[in-house]
Amino acid sequence: MSEARAKATRAKSAAPVIGRASRQVRERALTLAATRIRERSDEIVAANALDLERARRGGMSLALQDRLMLDAARIEAIAQSLEDIARQDDPLGRVLSGSTISCGLRIEQVTVPIGVVAMIYEARPNVTADAFGLCVRSGNACVLKGGSAARESCLAIAAACRSALEEAGLPVDALQYVDDDAEHTQTAELLGATGLVDVLIPRGGASLIRACVEGAKVPVIETGTGNCHIYVHSSADLAKARAILMNAKTQRVGVCNAAESLLIDRSVAREFLPVLLSELASADVLIHADPEALSAADLLEGERRDVVVAHLVEATEADWGTEYLALEISVHVVSGVDEAIAHINRYGTGHSEAIVADSYDACEKFLAGVDAAVVYANASTRFTDGGVFGLGAEIGISTQKLHARGPMGAAALTTTKFLARGEGQTR
């Protein structure tokens, strides 16, 4: 039996135990995990240093290295996230509906664990702790497979979490970590582990997600690549638009909720674009612009114009659908809110989209018309995050519509069953 199937088998055996564990026991496991991670902070940082050195030698981009990097502050954030999850309301045993039918049979629909949750993810060692925490909170066993880039970091974090399970009196088999393999045979084994894995969640780049969606025999929740847009309406305040755009594009470029495209109304493009392009260029952002946006550079003079021109290239059709994960952005001039909505719904990935406008009607039309997991009016797309949304952490941001959408916390890792209590009724 392969490593992946063997570990999935052990997780399935542990799933009923953790699913029946009391709220207090599961919460204790989470707080203990936070403590163990803090105690092993130096050990985890040392393991992460090995990953980072390997990443640098391999030519990993700076944006991805930022995702990979752990320091004392980020490890403390991981521990705090686990404690936040422990303080949340228990997602299990909630009665969603109830009725008594004509024969007297009493029926309730209640929330229960999914069972075994598998995750395949890339250079994000914090996902190891987040997935563990959310699965324990929701009474699920988990099988985790991180990428080779984060191998040492993930193994160190998983070891700390497994020790917390044991100390809390829960089966350590409820957390399984599948080591990476160069041929990806273990990935294929997880994708095909029907009867063992109840749901698989990929988290990473577009190629990883697509490979999992297309190759899986087990149910998959598709988490999103983020081709996110900022649309500047004709009524927008320029200072507000600049602040939102720069935060969404430059605050952290290698994340799925960073803005990748700027749309701007034609009626204000000549007024707004020179300033917006100048600010983007000053932040060293490469701008893939359509012809109208390119011409806005001619409205600048002297050194400002030279800086912008040095950062301008003509956009191609492919740019409208590209998630750069870098200091790059596409810029497209539109005729109004209807064209902006149509453009986003055609080229977006259903992740996070934003309008900047002082017009109430434009905002409401955008909020209703854009088909995405999270749609903003006058705020940065960078807020799309499970922790920020009050979920403690996220196991991913779902861009599909079944059974979860948007940032997924512990409640998204539950399903339901009907409990029917009778007194001898027959049909």
Closest CA to 129 of 48, 45, 30, 50: 30
Predicted TM-score of the model (pTM): 0.89
If pLDDT is split at 50, 70 and 90, which confidence band does 204 have? confident
CA angle 328, 335, 368 (to 5 degrees): 85
Name the DSSP letter for residue 168.
T
Q: Which residues pair with 109 in a beta bridge?
A: 97, 418
For 122-178, the pLDDT digits (tens) are 888 999 999 999 999 999 999 999 988 999 999 999 999 999 999 999 999 999 999
Name the DSSP letter for residue 305.
H
Closest CA to 159 of 147, 144, 169, 139: 144
If pLDDT is split at 50, 70 and 90, which confidence band does 225 have? confident
Does the pLDDT at position 12 exceed 80?
yes
User: Exposure pattern of 380-414 as b/e (b: 16+ CB <10 Å)?
Assistant: bbbbbbbbeeebbbbbbbbbeeeebbbbbbbbbbb
Structure tokens at 244: 């939102």
Mean pLDDT of the chain: 95
C-alpha of 347 from chain center: 19
Structure tokens at 183: 């041929």
For 249-272, the pLDDT digits (tens) are 999 998 899 999 999 999 999 999
For 176-192, the pLDDT digits (tens) are 999 866 667 899 999 99
Other CB atoms within a 10 A radius of the CB of residue 57 amount to: 8
Find the mean pLDDT for residues 204-220.
Answer: 91
- Dihedral-angle region of residue 267 (phi above 0 means left; psi in -120 to 50 means alpha; beta otherwise): alpha
Amino acid letter, residue 238: L
For 357-386, the pLDDT digits (tens) are 999 999 999 999 999 999 999 999 999 999
Structure tokens at 368: 């209703």
Give the per-residue pLDDT at 223. Answer: 87
For 286-343, the pLDDT digits (tens) are 999 999 999 999 999 899 999 999 999 999 999 999 999 999 999 999 999 999 999 9
Higher pLDDT, 421 or 62: 421
Q: Is the dihedral of CA 147, 149, 155, 158 positive or negative?
A: negative
Q: Which residues pair with 406 in a beta bridge?
A: 398
Give the per-residue pLDDT at 124. Answer: 87
